Structure 1
Amino acid sequence: MTITQLDERKLDPAIALASLDETAPREPHRLYALKHGDCFAVADAYGDIRGAGDGFFRDDTRVLSEFRLTVGGRSLSLLGASLSQDNVLFTSNLTNLPIESAAGRQIPQGAIHIERVRLLWQERLYERITLSNYSREHSTVLVSLRFGVDFRDMFEVRGSTRSKRGTAHTAEIDQSSVVLRYEGLDKVVRTSAISFSQPPDQLTSERADFFIAVTKRSRQTLYVEVGSKTTARPQSERFRAAAARARFGMRAKRRHGATLHSSGRVFNDWMERARADVALLTTELATGPYPYAGIPWFSTAFGRDGVISALQMLWLNPGLARGVLAFLAQHQATETSPFSDSEPGKIMHETRKGEMAALSELPFGRYYGGVDTTPLYILLACAYADRTGDTAFIDGLWPSLCAAAEWIETASRSTGFLTYQRAAESGLANQGWKDSFDSVFHADGRIPKGPIALVEVQGYVFAAFRGLAKLARLRGEEERAENWELRADAIRQQVERHFWIEELGYYALAIDGDGQPCKVRTSNAGHLLYVGLPNPDRARMVADQLLSASFHSGWGLRTLADDAIFFNPMSYHNGSIWPHDTAICAAGLARYGIRDSVVRLMSGTFESAVHFNMRLPELFCGFTRSAGEAPIAYPVACLPQAWSAGSAFMLMQACLGLQIDGWTNEIHVTRPHLPIGIDNLVIRHLSVGHVAVDLTFQRVGDRVGAFLADAHEGLVPLVVKS
C-alpha cells in the first residue's frame, strides 16, 4: 500500500488494520486507553497488548507491541475491567483457569485472583500485578509475561508498508531487565527498557518467567515498568509515587473551567466521564493546553479537531481555546510547499513526530491540507474574544488572524468560494472534515473533479469574516471592517444562490471544479445553521430534513441521508453517526430557536453514551434505532476522542440557550430547556470577566428558570429571555 493510499484510507481505519491482521478489528469499546503527554497505551480488558492496533506508543512510535500475562501456562479468565473516574488507573480483575502448580498439583479454576493495575506517567508505563490465593493450599505457580517491541511508526500500524526499515539491535539482558533498541533510518535510536521488581527465573528477549509462591490466604505482588531507559528497580514506592503524581496532575487539569452537576445521577456520570476524557486528551504544550484528537490513531495536535473541541468547551473553559489559538498561530504556514500543502497564512491540519514523518516519507510532520482549519481558526478567535473580552490576547494574535484572512481571500479569488485540491499526490484527496476518498460525490455516484467547494466551509468563511469585521471595528480599523463585512455578505449571497437546490429544499454538499453542485443531502448543511448563514425559511427546511428519519436514527444524526447512492450505515463518513457532528447541528438548531429538537438530540446522544459505558466513541454505525437494541459500534473508532467527549457540553449549551458576553460581562439565557429527566442543573465556577459565579437552572412545571446563587447575585447581570 502506498503512503497516498494509506492516507486516503484514513477514511476507514478498519480496512487498513484488517490488512495487518485479519483477527482485527478489535472493538474500541472493549479496549482501554491511558495517556500522558505524548505517550499513550491501549490494551484489552485483560490488560494484554496483542499487536494489532494496540500497544504502548511514544512520539508516534510503538514501543511495546506485545504484553501478555499467563498463569500456569494458560491465559486467564476475565472477571471485569475498568478505568478510574479520572482516567489515570486501568484495573483488570482476572482469575486462573484450571492449571497445575509447579509441583504438578491441580489448581482449580478460580483459586487465584490476579489484579493488574496500570498507569502512565512521564513517558513510562507502570504496572502492578497482584496474585491472591483464596484456596486452602500453598501453591507455587508459573507467572509469565510475553513481550515484544516492533518500533513501528504509527502509520505502519495503521497499514502503511515500507520498502526499508532501520536496524533492530540485539537485546541487552541483565538480571531483571531487558533493553531493546532500534536505530531508525532517521538516525534516531529509540529504546524500550522493560524492568521487573524481582529477577525472573528465566528471562529472554521476549519473555519473563517467574515461579511465585503464594501461600494460602496470602498475596504476592510483581511490579513492571516500561520506559526509554532502565532506572531504579520497580517497587511499591515507585508505583505509588507515580500514581499520586499522575492523579494530582489530572486533578489540576480537571479544575480548569466550570463544572456541571444535575439531579440525574447517571447523567452526571456521563458529564464526569466526558470532562475526564477532555482532560485526559489535553496535553500541556509550551503554548498552553491543547486537546489531542483521539486515541489511538490521532493522538496528536490536529488543527480542526483542536478548534472544534475548544469551541465545544468555550463556555465552560475559555483557557482551552486560548491554548489552541496560541499553538496554531505559532505553527501558521509562512511558505509554499506542495508536499505539505502549505501556503503563507494557512493553519496547520496535523503534526507528527514519528520516523516516517521525519524522513518525509509522508507529509504529516507538519501538514496543512485542511481547507476548513483556517476559517475555523479565525472563527474560534472571534468566539474567544466574544466570550472573554480578552483584547490583549487578540492584539497579540491579530497579525496571524490577518494573515489567515489574506490566505482565504487569495484562495477564494478565482471562484468566489474557498476550495481545495491537493497540491501533491501524497496529500489528502478530500480536505474537509469528511476526508474519505468517497465522501464527496454527485447524486449519481460520480466523484467530482476539483477544485471543490464544500458547503460547510463557506459557512465557516462567512462566520470568520463577520467576526473579524467586528474585531476590526473595535480596534478602530474601519477600512478592514468594511471589507470583511462586504465579504461576509457576498459569501452568504453566493451560498444561497449556488448551493441551494430548490428541488431538494436543501443545500448541495459541494460545488465541483466545473461549477456543478453535488446534489446530495448531508449533515454538512447543518453546519450552516451553526454559523447562522441561511435565512429563517431555509433554515427551517434544513432542520426539518435533519430531524426526519432520513438523517435522525434515534441515536443521533447520520452524516448522509439514507436515500443517497453511497449511503452505508457502517461507513466511516457516508451514513455513520459522529457525536460532534450531531452536536454542531444541534447548536445550529438552537440558533434558530428549534430547542425542543435539541433536547431530543441530547437525549439520544446521552442514551448512546450509556450503551458505550459513558464514553462516546469517535463515531458509531448509523442503523435506525430499534426498541431494546443498543447502538452498533464502529470497529476501530478512536476512543476516547476529544470532540466526541466535548459534544456533551456543546449539546448542553444548546439546550440551555446560554451565552456569555465578554464585552459587557453579562450572562444571556434564551428559552432554556433541560435534558429529559433532569429537573435541576447547577453550573459551578462559571467565569464571567474576573469573577466566577454559580448558575442554577430549575424546572418549574413546563418552564425552566435560571438564577444565580444567592451569594453571587449582583456580581454579574443575568439576562433571561423566555
Structure 2
Amino acid sequence: MPAARPALRRAHPSSFTATTPRRSGMAVTLVHGTSFCVCDDDGEFGGALAEGTFYQDTRILSGWNLRFDGKPVEPITVQIPEPFQARFVGRAHSSEGEGESSLLVRRERYVGGGMREDLILRNYGRTRVACTVSFRVAADFADVFEVKAGRIRDKGHHAVEVTSSGLYLARYLDSTSRGVRITGVTLDGKHAKYSRDRVSFRVVVPPGEEWYASVTALPLIDGTPITPLFPRERPVELSGPAILTRRWREESPVLSYSENRTLATTLQRSREDLGALRMFDPEHPDDVGIAAGAPWFMALFGRDSLIASLMSLAVDPTLALGTVQTLARHQGTTVEPNSEEEPGRILHEVRFGADVSLALGGSHIYYGSIDATPLFVMLLGELSRWGIGKDRVEALLGHADRALEWIDRYGDRDGDGFVEYHRATDRGLANQGWKDSWDGINFADGTIAHSPIALCEVQGYVYAAFVARAELAESFGDHEGNRYWRSRAADLKRRFNERFWLPELGRYALGFDGEKRPIDSVTSNIGHCLWTGIIDDERAALVADSLLSPEMFTGWGIRTLSTAMGAYNPMSYHNGSVWPHDNAIIVAGLMRYGFVKHAQRVAVAVLDAAAAFDGRLPELMCGFDRSEYSTPVPYPTSCSPQAWASAAPIHLLRSLLRFQPSLPHRRLRISPALPKSFGALQIDDVPLGGSRISIQAKETKVRVGHLPTDIELIH
C-alpha cells in the first residue's frame, strides 16, 4: 500500500503580521521556549562559531546553507514577523550571460521545538527555470556552554543514517543521545532526495509560477522525537507558538497613546520580547516562567527570572506567579556540595544539555546563588500586594518559610547576622551575587576580594524579604508573625547601617571579604539598597549623589564601577559597564527616597540608549561616557533579547508613576513624576487583582479608569 501523502499546508500571506526590518549585516536571533536560532541576515549559518539552531542547550544544527546549482542566494532583505519567525528574501544567481536573475527566493523560517523552513520560489521571467535546490546541513550537537566559550570538543560517537524518507544525524555520549531528523517535501507531496550532508530537490518553475517546499529539522532526545510545534499539515497561524503569541498580545496592557515615540517604541519592544522569552512546562502547563535571555541563557535562572518577572508585574503578574511556583518545585531539599544544593535554597540555573559535565557543578540544576533565595520571598510579597490571590499565596508560604530558614542556617555561614557566600566546589561560581564574573567583586585599588563575601545588596534583599514576610503574616491575621519579622527587619537594618557605613570614606562598603575587611570600592550595588529601603534616611542623599557623579553616570546610565576605581574597565562585564536592569532598580530606589530629579535623569538616559538599539535594550553596554561617544557602545557578547533588560523600561515607568498597589489593604497609590520629555501617555488593560485598569498621565497629573470601587486610590 503506498504511503499517504502529507497534507502540506502553505502559509497564507494574509497571516503575516507587521514585520520588523533588520539592518544589513546584523545577526538574526529567533526564539521560542528552549529553542533558538542565531544566523546571518541572509538566513545562512555555519560560517561563525556562535551560530546554529539549538534545542534544550544542544546545537542540533551547526550548518544550514541553501544552494541553487551549488551557488548561494543573493540576499535582498530580512523581516522578523514574529519572535519565532524570520523571512529571508533573495534571488538566485543568474547563469553566465543571462543578465539579471528572475527567480525570487523566499525562506520562511520557524523556530520552536527544532526548526521548519518553507521555501517559496517565484519565476518572474518569460522562460522556465530548472535547477537543483539543496540545503547543506551539519550537526555537531555541541553543548551551548562549548559554543559560547568557543571551544567545541569532539566527544562521543557521531552517526548518520540516510533513508528514502529522511536524513538522521545523531551523537551518542555515555548513556544519552541527541539527534535530529531532517525531512523535505514539496507542496504536491514529492519527497526530497537525501545524502549524508544535504537535502535536495530537482526544481522546474514555469514562467510566472511558484514552487513550494518545506524542510523540517526535528530534535530527538535519546532516540525519541519531540512533538513538532509547526507540523506541515497545520497552518502556521494555528500552531502553538502563534496562538500563544497572539494571546499574549491580546491580554497584555496596551500603550494606546504616547507623545514620546522613543518611549512608545521601547515599551512595545519590551512587551514583545518578554512574550518571546516565556517558557512553558508541559507537565505544569499553567505555570509560565521566563528565560534569562537569548541566545545563551534560554533557561530558567533563579535571580534573573525572579527580577525580570518582578519588573514585569505591570504587564503580566502570572509570569511572576509561574516563576515562583516553578522555583518552589525545585527548591533545595538536601545538602549536595557539587550542585551546592541546600535545604530551602532557590536554584541559580537549570540546564538541559546531554553532557552534564559542562554545566555548573556538574549538575542539570545548580544552586550557587546567594540572592535568589531572598528574592524569592520578596517576589511572593509583591505578588500578594498585586492581588494575585490569597489561596495562591498561601500555597507558597511554606516555601517562603523554608527559604528564610535557609537564610538563617546556611546563608549566614558564621552567625554574624549577615548573609555571605563561599562556593562549595571549584566547579561552581566564585562570585554568587548578580555580578558573578570571577573579577566582579574587588577593592578600590583593584584587588580581587576573596570569599566568604557578604554583599551590601544581598543584605538589602534579606531585609526586604523579612518585610515581605511580615506583610504576608499580617494579611493572614498572624499578628505574632508580623511583629517577629518586622523586628528581624529593623534589627538587620540597624546592624547594616552600623557595620557597612565607612565614616572615613563617607560611603557604604560594597561588602566584607573572608577576613571581614570592608570592600571599599564605589559600585552600583548600593543603589539596590535604596530599592529595598535598608539605607538610613540621613545617608540616602550621599548615596544618590554618588550614583549620579561623573565617575558613575555616563549619560546613558549608571556604571557598575566608578572610573576612579583600580579595576575600572568600560569594556568589562561587571567593572564599569552599564546594565539597564541595574539602572531600573536604582531608579526605583531613588524614587523611594524622594530623589525625583536623580531618578528622572537616569530614566531618560536609559531610554535614550534604547533609541540607539531600535527600542531593544541589550543585556549591558560599555561604560564609555556620552561626551566621548555620541551613541552607546555595545558590549560585544551582550544577550539580546534579555529578560531583565526587556523588563527594565516597564519598571522604569512604574517607578516614575510611583505605582504602588496594596491589594490586601484594598489600596492603590499612584503619584506620577514623569519627565517633561515623556509627554502625555495612556495605558489600557493594566492587570491589577483580577481587574484591568487604565492610566492617563502627564508629568504629575494622573487619571485612573476602571478601578474597582472597593479599592481606594491614593495620590
TM-score, structure 1 as length reference:
0.88
* TM superposition shift of 1:511: 0.7
1:275 corresponding residue in structure 2: 271
1:347 corresponding residue in structure 2: 346
* TM superposition shift of 1:59: 1.6
The aligned runs of 1:159-174 (5 Å cut-off) are 159=149, 165-169=155-159, 171-174=160-163
* TM superposition shift of 1:227: 0.5
* TM superposition shift of 1:236: 10
2:77 corresponding residue in structure 1: 80
Query: Which whole-Å deviations, capped at 9, do the CAs of 1:458-489 have from their partners, x for residues lacking one?
Result: 11011111221222244344444333223222
1:546 corresponding residue in structure 2: 547
Whether the 8 Å CA contact 2:26–2:41 is kept in 1: the answer is yes
Structure 1 pair 406–713 and aligned structure 2 pair: CA distance change class (3 A): closer
* TM superposition shift of 1:695: 2.1
Partner-residue secondary structure (3-state), 1:261: strand
* TM superposition shift of 1:575: 1.1
Unpaired runs of 5+ residues, structure 1, are 1-26
1:659 corresponding residue in structure 2: 660
1:461 corresponding residue in structure 2: 462
**Distance in 1 between the 2:350 and 2:499 partners?**
35
Unpaired runs of 5+ residues, structure 2, are 1-22
**Distance in 1 between the 2:561 and 2:108 partners?**
42
Partner-residue secondary structure (3-state), 2:452: coil
Correspondence for 1:258 among 248, 253, 256: 253
- Kindly indicate whether residue 395 of structure 2 is the aligned counterpart of residue 416 of structure 1: no
**Distance in 1 between the 2:103 and 2:395 partners?**
62
**Distance in 1 between the 2:343 and 2:598 partners?**
42
- Kindly indicate whether residue 127 of structure 2 is the aligned counterpart of residue 130 of structure 1: no
Please provide the CA RMSD for this pair: 2.9
**Which has the higher mean CA deviation after the structures are superposed, 618-627 or 359-368?**
359-368
What amino acid is the match of 1:92? Answer: F
- Kindly indicate whether residue 179 of structure 2 is the aligned counterpart of residue 178 of structure 1: no
Query: Which whole-Å deviations, capped at 9, do the CAs of 1:535-588 have from their partners, x for residues lacking one?
Result: 233221111121222222122221111121111111111111111111111111
1:22 corresponding residue in structure 2: none
1:144 corresponding residue in structure 2: 134
- Kindly indicate whether residue 226 of structure 2 is the aligned counterpart of residue 238 of structure 1: no
Whether the 8 Å CA contact 2:219–2:226 is kept in 1: the answer is no
* TM superposition shift of 1:450: 1.6
* TM superposition shift of 1:375: 0.7
* TM superposition shift of 1:178: 0.9
2:305 corresponding residue in structure 1: 306
The aligned runs of 1:511-590 (5 Å cut-off) are 511-590=512-591
**Distance in 1 between the 2:171 and 2:41 partners?**
29
1:13 corresponding residue in structure 2: none
* TM superposition shift of 1:93: 2.3
Whether the 8 Å CA contact 1:589–1:595 is kept in 2: the answer is yes
1:637 corresponding residue in structure 2: 638
**Distance in 1 between the 2:131 and 2:627 partners?**
49
Query: Which whole-Å deviations, capped at 9, do the CAs of 1:90-126 have from their partners, x for residues lacking one?
Result: 12222345x42xxxx43445644322211134x1311
Partner-residue secondary structure (3-state), 1:382: helix
Partner-residue secondary structure (3-state), 2:70: coil
Partner-residue secondary structure (3-state), 1:608: helix
Structure 1 pair 475–266 and aligned structure 2 pair: CA distance change class (3 A): closer
Whether the 8 Å CA contact 1:688–1:716 is kept in 2: the answer is no
**Distance in 2 between the 1:96 and 1:622 partners?**
44
**Distance in 2 between the 1:95 and 1:564 partners?**
54
1:10 corresponding residue in structure 2: none
**Distance in 2 between the 1:234 and 1:431 partners?**
36
1:8 corresponding residue in structure 2: none
Whether the 8 Å CA contact 2:229–2:239 is kept in 1: the answer is no
- What is the number of residues matched between the two proteins? 679
Partner-residue secondary structure (3-state), 1:521: coil
Structure 1 pair 195–391 and aligned structure 2 pair: CA distance change class (3 A): same
Partner-residue secondary structure (3-state), 2:616: coil
Structure 1 pair 135–678 and aligned structure 2 pair: CA distance change class (3 A): farther
- Kindly indicate whether residue 444 of structure 2 is the aligned counterpart of residue 443 of structure 1: yes
Structure 1 pair 620–364 and aligned structure 2 pair: CA distance change class (3 A): farther
Structure 1 pair 113–610 and aligned structure 2 pair: CA distance change class (3 A): farther
**Which has the higher mean CA deviation after the structures are superposed, 562-571 or 483-492?**
483-492
TM-score, structure 2 as length reference:
0.88
Whether the 8 Å CA contact 1:128–1:239 is kept in 2: the answer is no
Correspondence for 2:197 among 196, 206, 209: 206
**Distance in 2 between the 1:389 and 1:115 partners?**
45
Partner-residue secondary structure (3-state), 1:442: coil
**Distance in 2 between the 1:142 and 1:163 partners?**
34
Whether the 8 Å CA contact 2:142–2:153 is kept in 1: the answer is no
Query: Which whole-Å deviations, capped at 9, do the CAs of 1:127-169 have from their partners, x for residues lacking one?
Result: 1222334455543344332210111122222338688722211
2:55 corresponding residue in structure 1: 58
**Which has the higher mean CA deviation after the structures are superposed, 130-139 or 294-303?**
130-139
Structure 1 pair 329–643 and aligned structure 2 pair: CA distance change class (3 A): same
- Kindly indicate whether residue 195 of structure 2 is the aligned counterpart of residue 193 of structure 1: no
* TM superposition shift of 1:493: 2.1
Correspondence for 1:225 among 209, 216, 225: 216
* TM superposition shift of 1:381: 0.9
Whether the 8 Å CA contact 2:132–2:201 is kept in 1: the answer is yes
- Kindly indicate whether residue 592 of structure 2 is the aligned counterpart of residue 601 of structure 1: no
* TM superposition shift of 1:380: 0.8
Partner-residue secondary structure (3-state), 2:263: helix
Structure 1 pair 290–168 and aligned structure 2 pair: CA distance change class (3 A): same
Correspondence for 1:154 among 144, 153, 163: 144
Partner-residue secondary structure (3-state), 2:204: strand
**Distance in 2 between the 1:306 and 1:361 partners?**
18
2:65 corresponding residue in structure 1: 68
What amino acid is the match of 1:366? Answer: I
* TM superposition shift of 1:453: 0.6
Partner-residue secondary structure (3-state), 2:110: strand
**Distance in 2 between the 1:437 and 1:236 partners?**
44
**Distance in 2 between the 1:678 and 1:484 partners?**
40
Partner-residue secondary structure (3-state), 1:83: strand
Structure 1 pair 234–246 and aligned structure 2 pair: CA distance change class (3 A): closer
* TM superposition shift of 1:265: 4.2
2:8 corresponding residue in structure 1: none
Correspondence for 1:48 among 20, 44, 47: 44
Q: Percent identity?
A: 33
* TM superposition shift of 1:233: 13
1:428 corresponding residue in structure 2: 429
* TM superposition shift of 1:210: 3.9
**Distance in 2 between the 1:172 and 1:601 partners?**
57
1:4 corresponding residue in structure 2: none
Whether the 8 Å CA contact 1:261–1:268 is kept in 2: the answer is no
**Distance in 2 between the 1:245 and 1:109 partners?**
40
**Distance in 2 between the 1:441 and 1:205 partners?**
52
Structure 1 pair 614–79 and aligned structure 2 pair: CA distance change class (3 A): farther
**Which has the higher mean CA deviation after the structures are superposed, 211-220 or 175-184?**
211-220
Query: Which whole-Å deviations, capped at 9, do the CAs of 1:500-557 have from their partners, x for residues lacking one?
Result: 2334432222210111111111110110011111123322111112122222212222
Partner-residue secondary structure (3-state), 1:238: coil
* TM superposition shift of 1:207: 2.3
Partner-residue secondary structure (3-state), 1:418: coil
Structure 1 pair 580–361 and aligned structure 2 pair: CA distance change class (3 A): closer
Whether the 8 Å CA contact 1:225–1:234 is kept in 2: the answer is no
Query: Which whole-Å deviations, capped at 9, do the CAs of 1:389-440 have from their partners, x for residues lacking one?
Result: 6322222111111111111112325222100000111111000011110011
What amino acid is the match of 1:64? Answer: L
Whether the 8 Å CA contact 2:374–2:461 is kept in 1: the answer is yes
**Distance in 1 between the 2:640 and 2:57 partners?**
17
